[in-house]
Amino acid sequence: MALAVEEIKKLITSSIPDASIEIKDLMGDNNHYSALIKSKMFSGLSKIEQHKLVYKSLKGKMGNELHALSITTEEK
């Protein structure tokens, strides 16, 4: 079962409250997305740490309900 864009945003903002999130459905199948996530919480973190923070917010859904998510992070 695919994960809807709004559910992905909800999961991310539950852990990263100030996040501004842009998600694109890459294949039109509700299963392959790219996300641009901007947050003050990324300040001082490496890209790897930023991405880990995002993956953690997805609460194990990556690879299960969410098949593919390409992440780009930026500091606000």
> How do residues 49-70 score in pLDDT, each as one tens digit?
999 999 999 998 888 888 899 9
Cβ atoms of 62 and 69 within 8 Å: the answer is yes
> How do residues 36-54 score in pLDDT, each as one tens digit?
999 999 999 999 999 999 9
CATH of the domain at 19: 3.30.300.90
**Cα 15 to chain centroid, rounded:** 11
- For the entire predicted model, the pTM comes to 0.90
Domain extent, residue 49, equals 5-75
How many domains does one find in the chain?
A: 1
